[in-house]
């Protein structure tokens, strides 16, 4: 009985932690440059080889991700409204090597890369409202 209550409490705590932390993201310090052509980034089926003029919004998705299409549309709207920002995508369905390399445990995951292609921010899950724009503002992009 006590074991069952303990497991129930642990499960509840894990669920609350997930709900609170999902979609919030975190800043990245001292990041490597991400080679978009090497990881197979694409935009509307065409390969992406260079980062955006100001920033790149890189969506990691999978074929079976139910939330990825909405995040893709949201990032495309940000790209449309914001000059110099490029939106690209990487499908992780058959790329477990990339998921392991970048420590991606869920999709969607969004990376924000600066103009040099360096990772500056990442968010796992659906980004909270306004979070991507806020991070782009920190990069000096309006």
Distance separating the N- and C-terminal Cα atoms of the chain: 56
Largest Cα separation within the chain, whole Å, is: 60
pLDDT tens per residue across span 15-70: 444 444 455 565 666 778 899 999 999 999 899 999 999 999 999 999 999 999 99
CATH topology of domain 23-138: Glutaredoxin (3.40.30)
| pTM assigned to the model | 0.82
Report pLDDT digits (tens) over 48-60: 999 999 999 999 9
Residue boundaries of the structural domains of the chain: 23-138
Element (H, E) at 113: strand 109-114
84, 53 contact by CB (below 8 A): yes
């Amino acid at each position: 009985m006590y074991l069952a209550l303990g497991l129930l409490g642990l499960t509840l705590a894990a669920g609350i932690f997930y709900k609170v932390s999902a979609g919030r993201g975190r800043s990245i310090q001292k990041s490597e440059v991400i080679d978009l052509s090497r990881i197979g980034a694409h935009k509307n089926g065409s390969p992406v080889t260079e980062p955006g003029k100001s920033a790149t919004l890189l969506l990691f998705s999978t074929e079976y991700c139910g939330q990825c299409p909405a995040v893709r549309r949201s990032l495309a709207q940000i790209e449309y409204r914001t000059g110099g920002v490029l939106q690209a995508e990487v499908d992780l369905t058959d790329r477990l090597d990339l998921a392991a390399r970048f420590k991606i445990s869920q999709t969607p995951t969004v990376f924000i890369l600066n103009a040099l292609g360096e990772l500056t921010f990442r968010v796992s899950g659906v980004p909270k409202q306004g979070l991507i724009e806020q991070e782009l503002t920190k990069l000096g992009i309006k």
